[in-house]
Amino acid sequence: MTTTQRPALASHGEDLAAAHLERRGYSIIARNARTRFGEIDVIAHRRGELVFVEVKTRRISGGAGTALDAIDHRKVRQVRKLAAAWLTDTSDYPREEELRFDVIGVTLDRAGRLLALDHLEGAF
């Protein structure tokens, strides 16, 4: 995969993840929310929880392992830092007592069709 194809793959995976969340009753607050440290893929809200979602998308033919294999301790630390920055810098969001970090792994075939979507609630 070329570097020009990666953003399109990531965007397609995030579209599928956001649609999945909406089907499950989540309201999408933000997508690709920029902070001074980077970007949060999806921020959603449902039943008193504010949820920060990291989306990882892979093609089945890729050699990088599964989408969820990409979540390591460094990525967990980064997403938590991004969420803290977003909460500090953003004033207009649902004030909830519960914060949660989810991971959605999206696996596509070579044609970009969805093969699997794994949603890990409270992943870290």
| CATH number, position 103 | 3.40.1350.10
pLDDT in tens, 17-44: 999 999 999 999 999 999 999 999 999 9
pLDDT in tens, 1-20: 555 567 888 999 999 999 99
Residue 113 forms part of a structural domain: yes
Looking at the 3D structure of the chain, how many domains does it have?
1
Q: Which long-range contacts (CB under 8 A, 24 or more apart) does 13-17 make?
A: 13/55, 13/56, 13/57, 13/67, 13/106, 13/108, 14/41, 14/42, 14/55, 14/57, 16/106, 16/114, 16/117, 17/41, 17/42, 17/53, 17/55, 17/104, 17/106, 17/117, 17/119
Query: Model's pTM, two decimal places?
Result: 0.88
Residue 59 forms part of a structural domain: yes
Range of the domain at 116: 11-120
Residue 6 forms part of a structural domain: no
Residue 44 forms part of a structural domain: yes
Residue 47 forms part of a structural domain: yes
